[in-house]
Amino acid sequence: MKVIKSLVIVFTIHVLLANNVVSAKQWQGENNNTLSKSEFTLAKHCPPSFELTPQGVCRLLTQYQFYTSVQNKGLGGTQTNLPPHRDGFTPAQIDLGRYLFFDPALSKDGSISCASCHQPDKGFSDNLDRSIGITGEKIARSAPTLWNVAFVDKFFWDARAKSLEEQALGPLYDPLEMGNTPEKLLATIRSTPTYVKLFAQAYPDMQEIGLEQIYTSLTAFQTSLISLNSRYDRYAHGYHQALTKDEIAGLNVFRSFVARCAECHQPPLFTNNEIAVIGSPEPEGRKLDIGAEKTYNAPKLKGAFKVPTLRNITQSGPYMHSGRYKDLREAVKFYNDGRGNSIPEGEEMLIHWHISEPNLTDDELDLIVTFLGTLTDESLTPRIPQQVPSGLPVIDEKYQERSKAARTQQKLNHNNENAITQSGE
């Protein structure tokens, strides 16, 4: 089913709202019960885990900064530093990004927002095998989590973007995702008086709203999504009672050189920010997704995808680029079934050397899943705005219905099939 809402309707809503501006909650609940007709205002304080510097920008603070690591890469053991990260945005820029992130006005027809596929209560993913875009059809790949995206330097499953700003262009302008165009997006934002005012607050030196400020704000918000206070982290910081005996046993299987999970999903981020060919299968009826082969024009990387973080992994199923596995036990079993167990007949793939034939017992597989549960920390989930400057519903009921329908029908669309490597995430 196609949902078509014209921009006219969007603009109409904007005009209506211009005369009826509502307040929004600020970061940490200040004025949170005041849904009066006061103005939208942007936060003056940084999100938790960030410190406001004398320069007026937010700097991330984590206990991992107390450790060293080889070449400052921050990958490996329990007490290693984190890799370099993005921060240094102002509280206003971050908060503006929050409104934009939840605002369906960013899509072509005002029907979906970034948060439609990156829902805070679903690990900033969407519980779908492959996400549903503006056409109501499934796109090529599943929505990755946004937790700890500040530490990531490659974006999309196929690593084709090098920054969050660059990444934003993908979903915003992909016809199967949010379907917008730069011109339309800019026109929408510029014609929404509340946004004009908020952008002026967030970018006081700016003459006129440009796309750059939109991307910057979205980036600023996403880099504030920090999850580093799980029970695993307490263990890592030296409180070994934070994990149960089984969870520690699971950690030891996870990092053993038999399972080798931790070789790519390296603590403390539980990713090494690399791409790898693991040969995870497509859903039935879908052709092979070549992944990063296209990005790098490198046949040796056929079927290579980014190594995703495992932080909050219990919240963001189903798993793999194709959402092929509905739960973690299935995903873990895939690795235990041996190298290349799902390579389609006739295909050649250079499977990553760490994918072996570990022959783990069922108990050990269970222990790994148990351990993965200790990586859950959503304590710094940002507040979902009750209203956004466009006046559109923050979580669109129809979008949800469509997702549900698509889930049950498992509808495949041929256009979508052809777009498999053009779209994604």
Segment 67-106, which members bind another protein (CB under 8 A)?
Answer: 67-71, 73, 75-80, 83
Is 178 or 301 the residue whose CB approaches another protein more closely? 301
Stretch that binds another protein, among 12-20, 128-136, 177-185, 226-234 (CB under 8 A): 226-234
Task: Report in angstroms how near the CB of residue 242 gets to another protein at its nearest.
Answer: 5
The residue among 9 and 239 lying less far from another protein, judged by its C-beta, is 239
Q: Does 30 bind another protein (CB under 8 A)?
A: yes
- Please pick, from the candidates 274, 282, 330, 366, the single residue that binds another protein as defined by CB under 8 A: 274
Q: Does 41 bind another protein (CB under 8 A)?
A: no
Minimum distance, C-beta of residue 364 to another protein, in the bound complex (Å): 8
Q: CB of residue 67 vs another protein: minimum separation in angstroms?
A: 6
Q: How far is the CB of 317 from another protein (least distance, A)?
A: 25
# chain residues binding another protein, by CB under 8 A: 72
Single out the segment in contact with another protein by CB under 8 A; choices: 98-106, 107-115, 198-206, 247-255.
Answer: 247-255
Binding mask 326-345 toward another protein (x if CB under 8 A, else -) reads -------------x------
Instruction: Indicate the residue among 78 and 191 with the shorter CB distance to another protein.
Output: 78
In Å, what is the CA distance from 107 to each residue of 70, 111, 302, 337, 403? 43, 6, 32, 41, 16
322 binding another protein? (CB under 8 A)? no
The H-assigned helical ranges of 70-210 are: 91-102, 114-117, 164-173, 182-190, 193-202
Residue among 91, 410, 64 at smallest CA distance from 234: 64
Does 277 engage in binding with another protein (CB under 8 A)?
yes
Q: Is 51 in the site for another protein (CB under 8 A)?
A: yes
Contact (CB, 8 A) for 367 and 336:
no
Nearer to another protein, 217 or 266 (CB): 266
> Does residue 253 interact with another protein by CB under 8 A?
yes
* Binding span for another protein by CB under 8 A among 47-55, 216-224, 325-333, 390-398: 47-55
- Note whether 259 binds another protein by CB under 8 A: yes
Note whether 355 binds another protein by CB under 8 A: yes
> Rounded to 5, what percent of the chain is helix, strand, coil?
40, 5, 55
Task: Say if CB 227 and CB 311 are below 8 A apart.
Answer: yes
- DSSP class of residue 46 equals P
Q: How far is CA 38 from CA 31, 42, 103, 196, 204, in A?
A: 11, 13, 19, 16, 21
Residue 362 binds another protein, judged by CB under 8 A: no
d(CA 209, CA 223): 21
Q: Is 352 in the site for another protein (CB under 8 A)?
A: yes
The neighbour count for residue 1, using CB atoms within 10 Å, is 11
Check residue 175 for interaction with another protein (CB under 8 A).
no
| Contacting range for another protein; rule: CB under 8 A; set: 58-66, 126-134, 144-152, 195-203 | 58-66
Angle ∠(242,125,93) on CA atoms, nearest 5:
90
Token pair listed for 161? 């973007």
- Contact between 266 and another protein (CB under 8 A)? yes
Q: Per CB under 8 A, which of residues 378..417 are in contact with another protein?
A: 379-380
Of the candidates 79, 130, 95, 134, the one whose C-alpha atom is nearest the C-alpha of residue 111 is: 134
Between CA 200 and CA 61, with CA 44 as vertex, the angle to 5 degrees is 120
How would DSSP label each residue in 302-351? TTEEE----TTGGGS-SBTTTT-BSSHHHHHHHHHT-TTTTPPTT-----
Q: Assess 48 for contact with another protein (CB under 8 A).
A: yes
Q: Which is nearer to another protein, 342 or 400 (CB)?
A: 342
Residues 278-297 that bind another protein (CB under 8 A): 296
Contact predicate 186/210, CB 8 Å: yes
The set of residues, in sequence order, having a beta carbon less than 8 Å from that of 353 and lying 6+ positions away, is: none
Which residues, in sequence order, are CB contacts of 376 under 8 Å at separation 6+?
A: 230, 231, 312, 313, 314, 315
Q: Give whichever of 65 and 244 is closer to another protein, judged by the CB atom.
A: 65
DSSP designation for 51: E
Q: Are 115 and 67 in contact (CB under 8 A)?
A: no
Q: How far is the CB of 212 from another protein (least distance, A)?
A: 27
- In this chain, which of 39, 327, 353, 417 binds another protein, going by CB under 8 A? 353
